[in-house]
Chain A
Amino acid sequence: MVEFKPNHLVRVKREQMFAFTMLSLAAALTVLILLAIVFYVMAQGLSVISMEFLLEEPRKMGTEGGIFPAIVGTVYLVGLIILIAAPIGVGTSIYLNEYMPDGRFKSVLRFATELLAAIPSIIHGMFGFLFFVIALGDYTGGWSILSGALTGVVMILPIIIRASEEALRSVPSNLKEGSLALGTTRWYTIKKVVLPLALPGITTSVILAIGRVIGETAAFLLTIGGSLLMAASVFDGARTLALHLYLVAMETGNVQMAFGTGAVLIVLILIINFAAAALFKLLVKRFSA
């Protein structure tokens, strides 16, 4: 065998060893940070969690009692947002990806979507406050679940559009061509070939958007009102869990109760993420028979 450079191999291997060590350390650190946060919040919060905490209304600004209205408010808000945003977002992505011809208008639209996704959520909150709460106050009820939901829709639409487009793009074009070549219309091809194959990705995008809404505070701080009372309709003000956590911590300084809310929030988000993963697997299995 030819010796190119003596000891070169030794050096290359040492360098590889070093690189692998650093990379595994980075990975370990990431997991460590996640575990640290989850355990810390749980350890602090679990002590206040009880059936009473989960199912009763708050008293004395949330320093006593429970968080039930905030749980209900969160569910209302998320439900309303998904009900509005999912059809619009998925519809837009189908139109962009399957119907709209390539061209300048399409690139402008895509770029606008990217920009919209990059806007800080407090700006969305500001816009929601001025537009939905003030300008359209007569129809939305001012500070209300509806105003918050409409603001949330504006915020998560680009997320759903982008992720759904990704899912639609991943459908192999030879299957689409195969369907069209059999003399089927575009819509039939979308219904029977494209959507079933893109469904797992689309569903995941919607669920991740739900996660984003649940964790969001700034956009709702200025729009949903922060009422401690149980909302009777979408025209009433309410609180989400994240907002409740923020308000309790900031206004009353009761860290214990805030951590309790945080623990519930984290569990909720973990459940949603696991559910998303499970649903994705199930849909992939179901539709790739």
Chain B
Amino acid sequence: MIAPKEQDVKIAVEGLDFFYGQKQALHNITMDIRENEVFAFIGPSGCGKTTFLRVLNRMNDLIPYTSVKGSVRIDGQDIYDPNVDVVQLRKAVGTVFQKPNPFPISIFDNVAYGPKANGLKNKQQLMEIVEDSLRQAALWDEVKDRLNESALGLSGGQQQRLCIARVMAVKPEIILMDEPTSALDPVATFKVEELITELKKNYTVVIVTHNMEQAARVSDKTAFFLDGVVIEADETNNIFTNPKQKETEDYISGKFG
């Protein structure tokens, strides 16, 4: 059997340490994330998975007294290089947060927010981007008749898909998701998971999740974090059926977590 050709490496992390003040939160992480794959981070609370996610688009820069050692390369470019423009980086690496955070403005304006910030003013073009993004986020049919109503009137699941559409409107290459379904009910969760599977055709998706079934359902690869260390990273199948490390097995079988 011929192994399927592996995609190019999109994100290459090497020897990454991360500190909150003096406290080290991530230890010597090395990891390759390939194009068009869904990569899941699992692990107990406080293990560093969200911190690591936020390293990938430098959202941790917003937290005072944090520092990074090692390298993170996206398409070969070190994103912590002083010449890198954080604004450009975050356009290419979008984030969907744990709690849906639509702006208190209309549905249309939420999706058009990013394009407008980039100077796009043409109504026609904005409309096209908004429709396209909402379709990709599988929300278009539910909101097409009320684009000018407040986004806060949507249900939690709809708000989260709106936030996904908002990210897609700036045409990123990578989408980071920080426990995107933890605030949603099972039906809304199912819809978002379907969407994630759909997204990997065009994007590289990195998802932090508390929910191991979710990681098993949506991801191609999984990394297990514990106390700021990546214990094991492999094909999702291998992690769940044939873990190599004792800690991974204990966590997956529910012995702790």
Contacts and interface: CB of A to CB of B under 8 A. Distances in A.
B114 interface: yes
Interface string B125-169: 000000000000000000000000010100000000001001100
Given A184-B114, A289-B150, A178 B103 contact: yes
State the majority secondary structure of interface residues on A: helix
Contacts of B117: 182-185, 188, 192
Interface residues of A, number: 21
B94 interface: yes
Contacts of A118: none
Contacts of B118: 183
Contacts of B99: 174
Contacts of A288: 104, 150, 152
B211 to A, nearest CB: 21
B104 A178 contact: no
B53 to A, nearest CB: 11
A114 interface: no
A106 to B, nearest CB: 11
A248 to B, nearest CB: 50
A177 B64 CA distance: 14
Interface string A188-208: 100011000100000000000
Nearest to A185: B87
A101 B163 CA distance: 29
Contacts of A185: 87, 117
B90 interface: yes
A111 interface: no
Contact of A289 (B87, B94, B106): B106
B20 interface: no
Given A182-B91, A182-B114, A183-B90, A177 B97 contact: yes
Interface of B: 57, 59, 62, 64, 87-92, 94-95, 97, 99, 101, 103-106, 113-114, 117-118, 150, 152, 163, 166-167, 170
23 contacts: A101-B64, A174-B101, A178-B166, A179-B113, A180-B59, A181-B57, A181-B90, A181-B95, A181-B97, A182-B170, A183-B88, A183-B118, A184-B87, A184-B113, A184-B117, A185-B87, A185-B117, A197-B104, A287-B104, A288-B152, A289-B104, A289-B150, A289-B152
